[in-house]
Chains A and B, each alone.
Chain A
Amino acid sequence: MQIRTTRTFLGAAAFILVSTGLGRAVSSSPGTDTPTAAERVQRGGYLVGAMGCHDCHTPWKPGPQGPEPDMSRALSGHPADFVVPAPPRPSDAWTWSGAATNTAFAGPWGVSFTANLTPDVETGLGRWTADTFIAALRTGRHEGKGRPILPPMPYKMIRTLTDEDLRSIFAYLQSLPPIRNRVPTPVDPEDQK
């Protein structure tokens, strides 16, 4: 009888713990869920690589096997010294186009240029905070408050990440060497020549 009573109690307690979610909180000691700075940088680097950030934010150059990212300018965005001419006129079949560096894109939204994600204070993310970075990706607006972030930036996919993953990405970006590169302001459709 004693055994059955104990089992009944444990069963009831387990049910309560599971149904309230308290079990999850109790199972991990305080503080162990917060990664170290180094762990954040490592995970951020993994996410940046896996999610293809280099595809657009690192300028591409001709290589022996075809276009390849120029890692000497990793994640520094559209090169300011590459002044692109007017984009090709779109057709019904081809509605958007990309520059040779894969850092400038023309479409119904006008012309967009990929951002400098390195921590350069004047031209990159050097003045940003992690909260600003998260707000930008959650809202789809520059610094979480300004102009819309334009295609083809897949912020609607990226904003499904957790705050912790976004903090890790930001930590990794802030660990990069700063590259001074002032990316042009987007061109609105009516200003395209």
Chain B
Amino acid sequence: MTCQRTTLACAALLLMAIHRQQPHLAASPGPAALPVQLADTGLFVSGTTDVVAAANRPFSPQYPLWTDGATKRRWVYIPQGATIDAGNPRRWEFPVGTRFWKEFSFAGRRVETRVLWKASESGWLAGSYVWNQDGSDAVLASDGITGAVEIIPGRQHNIPSGADCAACHGTTRAPLGFNPLQLSDDRDPNAIHGEPLTKEMMTVRTLVDEGVLTPATAIPQTPARISARDPQTRTILGYLSGNCGACHNGDGQISAQVPSFASADLMDDGDGIARRMMGQPTRWQAPGRTDGTMLIDPSSPDQSALLLRMRSRKPSSQMPPLGTVVQDQQAITAIGQWISEVVRQPGD
């Protein structure tokens, strides 16, 4: 009996030692993988598929990403009492347990709901759930779905795979579109595809008032805003931030010779970035050409890489390179006008 007690005591001590060496395992409240059913991610009130739980707060980035005209709804869950570390405005650090949901609807029907879940300190789980025809259930589509629904004749919306998630959100699957500029209370009234801000939506002000953002010294005294001398430039740079800044952000992960459209850089010197776009060489070769194409070609704006690639929906040349199969005509028109009316003006 004594021997057994000794053995058990030693084993217990050993287990305690192991426990101390792997505290992250004990501290992790999230799952190892996303659940199969969307209902199990905590988005909805239990037993429903359309009543969002009160703890999940809606928000709307002021410069939304173009997804072929999809109607989007977004929610975030931040664990009670936890805080977001806003010390680095380029990269907020979210508490373990944070969840984001983004719902995509076409022609009034829910098609997919994407989820980011910070299940541990090491990173985020990412995936998308595809809705059935009658909207009664949504299940995880780990490998993505090509041709999930027809948007316009001959063009299908594709649900992203896990690898596609990484293409935009990086290897850590960190969230996009939830930052000081996108949640600013000083919203751009001319934002392309801007969505109405309703009173229940979270903004930086809401986060501050509720004590969610820390440290206090990191909170800007004035709401975040793109530094631009005219409203048109502000709006266009905002669009580029929301649609291009996830990759073209100066973090060194891609070699493209394009100025940074990271929101923090646009807030610092939007006008300077707009100027640098003019005549900026790129390595991209337009079809039929062997030399690189300027980002904005002042002598021939229509042949600018920016507009050529926004117009394209061919795999090798389209921009953004994924997540869209229909060009954003409203943005193309607005950027074309901006180049003609503002960027090319004498004295620039």
B-binding residues in A (CB < 8 A): 1, 4-5, 8-9, 12-13, 16, 20, 22, 80, 110, 122, 127-129, 131-132, 135, 138-148, 150, 182, 184-188, 190-191
* Contact with A185, one of B15, B164, B247, B287 (Cβ below 8 angstroms): B287
Q: How many A-B contacts if CB must be within 8 Å?
A: 102
Known contacts A8-B3, A9-B11; is-contact A188 B167 (Cβ 8 Å): no
A-facing mask of B89-120, CB < 8 A → 1, else 0? 00000000000000000000000000000000
Measured CA separation A150–B321 after assembly (Å): 14
- Contact between chains at B11 and A139 (CB < 8 Å): no
Identify the 6 closest CB pairs spanning chains A and B, nearest first. A127-B255, A5-B3, A188-B314, A186-B316, A185-B285, A139-B163
Given contacts A127-B255, A129-B253, A184-B290, is CB(A145)–CB(B168) below 8 Å? yes
Q: A13-B11, A185-B316, A190-B314 are in contact. Are A147 and B321 (CB under 8 A)?
A: yes
A-B residue pairs in contact (CB < 8 Å), sample of 23? A1-B3, A12-B11, A16-B18, A110-B316, A127-B255, A135-B166, A135-B170, A139-B164, A139-B166, A141-B321, A141-B322, A143-B256, A144-B254, A145-B253, A145-B254, A145-B321, A146-B254, A147-B321, A148-B315, A185-B285, A186-B316, A188-B314, A188-B316
Question: Does chain A have a CB within 8 A of B21?
Answer: yes
Residue of B nearest to A156 (CB): B163
The answer, among B15, B253, B287, for a CB contact under 8 Å with A135, is B253
In the complex, how many angstroms separate the beta carbon of B206 from the nearest chain A beta carbon? 32
Residues of A within 8 A of B171 (CB): 131, 135, 138
B190 within 8 A of A: no
CB neighbours (8 Å) of B322 from chain A are: 141
Complex: A122 Cα to B292 Cα, angstroms: 11
CB under 8 Å from chain A, chain B span 1-23: 3-4, 6-7, 10-11, 14-15, 18, 21
> Which residue of A9, A135, A139 contacts B7 across the interface (Cβ within 8 Å)?
A9
B220 at the interface (CB under 8 A from A): no
| Whole-angstrom distance between the Cβ of B32 and the nearest chain A Cβ | 15
- Closest Cβ of chain A to B244, distance in Å, is 11
Contact flag A4-B3 (CB < 8 Å), given A13-B10, A143-B254: yes
CB atoms of B285 and A188 under 8 A apart: no
A139 CB contacts on chain B under 8 angstroms: 163-164, 166-167
Q: Which residues of B contact A182 (CB under 8 A)?
A: 283, 290
What is the 8 Å Cβ interface bit string for chain B, positions 279-300, against chain A (1 contact, 0 not)? 0000111011010000000000
Name which of A12, A131, A145, A191 has the most chain B CB atoms within 10 A of its CB: A145
Is B252 engaged at the interface, CB distance under 8 Å to the other chain? yes
Q: Given A12-B11, A129-B252, A184-B290, A147 and B166 touching (CB < 8 A)?
A: no
What DSSP secondary structure best describes chain B's contact surface?
loop
Q: Is the CB of A132 within 8 A of B253?
A: yes
Contacts of B6 in A (CB 8 A): 5, 9
The number of residues on chain B lying at the interface, defined by a beta carbon within 8 Å of a beta carbon of chain A, is 36
Cβ-defined contact, A22 with B21, below 8 A? yes
B101 shortest CB reach to chain A, Å: 23
- CB of B11 within 8 A of CB of A185, answer no
Contacts of B314 in A (CB 8 A): 188, 190-191
CB pair B284 A140 closer than 8 Å:
no
For A188, give its contact among B7, B254, B315 (CB under 8 Å).
Answer: B315
Whether the pair B254, A138 counts as a contact (CB closer than 8 A) is no
Tell me whether A138 and B163 are in contact in the complex, defined as CB-CB below 8 angstroms, given that A12-B11, A145-B321, A148-B315 are known contacts: yes
Closest chain-B Cβ to A57's Cβ sits at a distance in Å of 18
> Counting CB contacts under 8 A, is B41 at the interface?
no
Please indicate the chain B residues that have their CB under 8 angstroms from the CB of A147 in the complex.
315-318, 321
Interface string of B153-168 (1 = CB under 8 A from A): 0000000000110111
Q: Which residue of A lies closest to B322 (CB)?
A: A141
B255 touches A141 (CB 8 A): no
Whether A188 lies near B11 (C-beta < 8 A) is: no
B170 shortest CB reach to chain A, Å: 8
A5 to nearest B CB, angstroms?
A: 4
The residues of A that contact B170 with a CB separation of less than 8 Å are: 135
Complex interface bits, B220-263 against A, C-beta within 8 A gives 1, otherwise 0: 00000000000000000000000000010000111110000000
Nearest B-chain residue to A121, judged by Cβ:
B255
Per the 8 Å Cβ criterion, residues 307-327 of B in contact with A are: 314-318, 321-322
- B166 A138 Cβ-Cβ under 8 A: yes
Known: A5-B3, A143-B254, A145-B167. A188 touches B317 (CB 8 A): yes
**Besides the contacts A135-B170, A135-B171, A145-B247, what 10 more A-B pairs have beta carbons closer than 8 Å?**
A12-B14, A20-B18, A129-B252, A129-B253, A135-B253, A140-B163, A141-B163, A144-B167, A182-B290, A185-B287
In the complex, A138→B7 CA distance in Å? 47
Which residues from chain A contact B11 at a C-beta distance below 8 Å?
Answer: 9, 12-13, 16
B318 to chain A: which residues have CB within 8 Å? 147
Closest beta carbon of chain B to A63's beta carbon, Å: 29
CB-defined contacts of A144 to chain B, threshold 8 Å: 166-167, 253-254
